[in-house]
Structure 1
Amino acid sequence: MSFTDWKTDTIANILPEEFYNLIEKNRDHIQKTFPVTLSYCPDLEKTKQFLAFNQDKENHKEGYFFYPRDNKTNALIGYLCIKSIDNRISKCELGYFVDEDYQGKGITSKMVSETLDFCFNTLNMNKVFICTSKINKASQQIALKHHFKQEGILREEFKNSDDTLEDVVYFGLLQSEYLLKKDKLTSGINQLKLYMGSAKMTSLSYKILFFGFYYYWLYKAIKFYFFTDNASGYLIFIYPLFILALTLFYLISVLLFFKKSSSKDSYYKLILLPHIIVPICTFFYVMEKYVL
């Protein structure tokens, strides 16, 4: 289940105490994936120094730091950093984790999406990469979800908290690939908006489409449960009337929408025709099969 009641905060608004609490709470959770951050935050005083160091890096545009915050509790629930910035070839790395209690709620994915927009459109990076340990399947899924390509495996590239050297999976995303995917997504959304009538299609029209499908599947369900060989004549008589009433209500809704639409909306009227036909066909099917 997704969690949407949160916002992204910047390092200027982060108190050492709340970041230390986040680290301390998730120490076991991130010890194998964020050992460097853990080593810099063993206590509150060291955490203050770590935040001050990162603030200085951001002031000099050598790194950027973002923190999701629960709007209700005001607690930090994650951490994302842009690091390893190489301005010579316009490349940077993303590192992130989310509070263990908030995993699987879409927070990391949303933050990565927003950060990619910042990297490619604001920082004008040519490439963003993610290095993740082979055991961190969740991080790998985030990379793949955002169209990163696995470029290789760096052998014994990373030392975890128990000083074990691990292989690292390297994912990369080019600015050209990101913009192409974004253009395709935007085009797809625009086509969907066109199909659904965009802003010209009133809230009533959405209800019309919904009710059209609703009536059809309601018919399928009732037919399955009631129209057996032993169905009583009473049910066979009542059900077509019920479908007829729903159909009339549906058609009246459509006519009201058409009446409010201008002549320029002929295209949007046209796409509604299949949804008008569904309940009508349903009615005649029932009449022919069970009544006539």
Structure 2
Amino acid sequence: MFTYKIDEEISLKLPEIADADHVFELTDNSRDHLREWLGWVDMTKRVEDTKAFIQLSRKGYIENKSLTTFILYKGEIAGTAGYNEIDWTNKVAYIGYWLGEGYQGKGIMTRVAKALTDYAFTGLNLNRVDIKAAYENTKSRAVPERLGFVEEGRIRQAEWLYDHYVDHVVYGMLKAEWKK
């Protein structure tokens, strides 16, 4: 099993089918919390839906198009984070993430996003990392802001969430800026 240790509390691991029950339970227990900002929650109704997500994630990894990981916090799966897409032509990684409700407020996602950003620049030799978040999702937006990402713009009505559109804010970090 591949793991990437971030610190004494947090590591990342590649998704495995054996994780499906736990990840589905985490999703199900955090359903109301996650649904506010994530459009896929209502489509995740059974463990089989989580298994399909894991298979798709592994396919993206094998094809070198993405990297989805499960976040381990003190040995327990707490959420997911990774590169939703890797654009090798333009050397850009697009980070996405979510945490189960009980894992909020511990600084987990900031540490994970920092490690993913560092790995994109030092391990993958990319030039840019982007993070998008819904304009009103202040917790998600706080992550790139804490890490010094530049707020580059607002995309109006970027995503349909169940019954309304939400704007997205785009944050970017360049390799030359990260080194400083």
- TM-score scaled by length of structure 1: 0.56
Consecutive unaligned residues of structure 1, counting only runs of 5 or more, are 181-292
Deviations 1:85-118 (A, max 9, x none): 2111111211112221121111111111111111
Distance 1:7 1:98 in 2: 14
Q: Which shifted more, 146-155 or 27-36? A: 27-36
Q: Which amino acid aligns with 2:150?
A: K
Other-structure match for 2:3? none
Structure 1 residue 155 displacement after superposition: 0.5
Other-structure match for 2:150? 149
Other-structure match for 2:120? 119
Q: Does 1:32 align with 2:28?
A: no
Other-structure match for 2:4? none
Contact 2:67-2:85 at 8 Å conserved across structures: no
Relative to 1, partners in 2 of residues 1:50 and 1:13: Cα closer, same or farther, differing over 3 Å?
A: closer
Distance 1:130 1:158 in 2: 15
Identity %: 22
Relative to 1, partners in 2 of residues 1:127 and 1:100: Cα closer, same or farther, differing over 3 Å?
A: same
Structure 1 residue 121 displacement after superposition: 1.1
Q: Does 1:18 align with 2:22?
A: yes
Structure 1 residue 18 displacement after superposition: 1.2
Relative to 1, partners in 2 of residues 1:18 and 1:125: Cα closer, same or farther, differing over 3 Å?
A: same
- The RMSD of aligned alpha carbons is 1.9
Q: Does 1:177 align with 2:177?
A: yes
Other-structure match for 1:81? 82
What SS does the corresponding residue of 1:110 show, helix, strand or coil?
helix
Deviations 1:51-83 (A, max 9, x none): 111111111111111222243xx4311210211
Greater relative CO (CA pairs within 8 A, separation 6+): 2
Distance 1:23 1:177 in 2: 35
Structure 1 residue 49 displacement after superposition: 1.2
Q: Does 1:8 align with 2:7?
A: no
What SS does the corresponding residue of 1:129 show, helix, strand or coil?
strand
Distance 1:124 1:57 in 2: 19
Once the two structures are superposed, the pairs formed by residues 31-70 of structure 1 within 5 Å of their partners are: 31-36=35-40, 38-70=41-73
What SS does the corresponding residue of 1:167 show, helix, strand or coil?
strand
Consecutive unaligned residues of structure 2, counting only runs of 5 or more, are 1-6
Structure 1 residue 34 displacement after superposition: 1.8
Greater strand percent: which structure?
2
Structure 1 residue 122 displacement after superposition: 1.3
Between Structure 1 and Structure 2, whose CA radius of gyration is higher?
1
